[in-house]
Amino acid sequence: MIPGADQTHTTRDPLNGLGRMFQHHFPSHQLVGIRRFIVEFLWFGLKEARACLFVGLFFLAIFIVPHAGAIGIPRYDLLLIIALTIQLGMICSGMETWDEAKTVALFHAVGFALEVFKTSGSIQSWSYPDFAYTKVLGVPLFAGFMYAAIGSYIIQAWRLLDLRIRHHPPYWMATALALAIYGNFFTNHYWGDYRWYIAACTLGLYARTTVIFTPYDRPRKMPLLLSFILIGFFIWLAENIGTLFGVWRYPNQVLGWNMVHLGKWSSWSLLVIMSFVIVAQLKHIKSRIHIPE
26-68 pLDDT, tens digit per residue, is: 556 676 778 888 888 999 999 999 888 888 898 889 888 988 8
Is residue 143 included in any domain, yes or no?
Answer: yes
* Total number of domains constituting the chain: 1
Residues 209, 266: Cα–Cα separation, whole Å: 19
210's enclosing H/E stretch is strand 210-213
Is residue 213 included in any domain, yes or no?
Answer: yes
Q: What is the largest CA-CA distance in the chain?
A: 63
Is residue 230 included in any domain, yes or no?
Answer: yes
Is residue 109 included in any domain, yes or no?
Answer: yes
Residues 92, 71: Cα–Cα separation, whole Å: 27
Is residue 204 included in any domain, yes or no?
Answer: yes
How large a percentage of the chain has pLDDT more than 90? 31
Is residue 93 included in any domain, yes or no?
Answer: yes
* Residue 96 pLDDT grade (very low, low, confident, very high; cuts 50, 70, 90): confident
194-250 pLDDT, tens digit per residue, is: 989 999 999 999 999 999 998 888 889 999 999 999 999 998 998 888 888 888 888
Mean pLDDT to the nearest integer, 99-116: 88
Is residue 1 included in any domain, yes or no?
Answer: no
- Name the packing angle between helices 263-279 and 171-187 (round to 10°): 140
In the chain, the N- to C-terminal Cα span, in Å, equals 16
Q: What range defines the domain where residue 224 resides? A: 35-286
The pLDDT value recorded for residue 204 is: 92
Query: Residue 80: pLDDT above 90?
Result: yes
Is residue 84 included in any domain, yes or no?
Answer: yes
